Amino acid sequence: MAKSLRSKFKRKVRAIARTKKQPKTDAFLQKAIEKRDQYEKVEAEKALADGTTTTEKMDVTSDAATINTKTLRKKDGSFPSWLSGTQKKKATKKSKAIKKSKNKTAKNFR
């Protein structure tokens, strides 16, 4: 794909533009790294002054872990609000198919 003269020329022009812009982008990234380092130093100094560390764990509610990954349902059997309608349909269809196959295998062993 993209073997026409026009596309080859466009790629060549973009490569030239990249080489021209390279020093400017490098300087920008270097400045961003320096700012980040300064920010981390300030945060570390604040943490030492307050006596707190930045590695403290947040309080996590147990509601986030109550969704079953296979059925995509909550403990009460309902779907989460962020799940779309098509995803709900797929999940119910999948769970019904699994139940059906389990019932067939259970009946065959009797």
Indicate the domain borders of the chain: 8-50, 80-109
Assess whether pLDDT exceeds 80 at residue 101: yes
Average pLDDT over residues 87-99: 91
Predicted pLDDT of residue 71: 85
Predicted pLDDT of residue 39: 94
Q: Indicate the pTM of the whole model.
A: 0.38
Predicted pLDDT of residue 36: 94
Q: How many CB atoms lie within 10 A of CB 1?
A: 4
Separation CA 110–CA 6 (nearest Å): 71
Separation CA 21–CA 16 (nearest Å): 9
Summarize pLDDT for 22-79 with one digit per residue, the tens.
Answer: 999 999 999 999 999 999 999 998 888 887 655 566 666 655 558 888 888 998 889 9
Predicted pLDDT of residue 108: 67
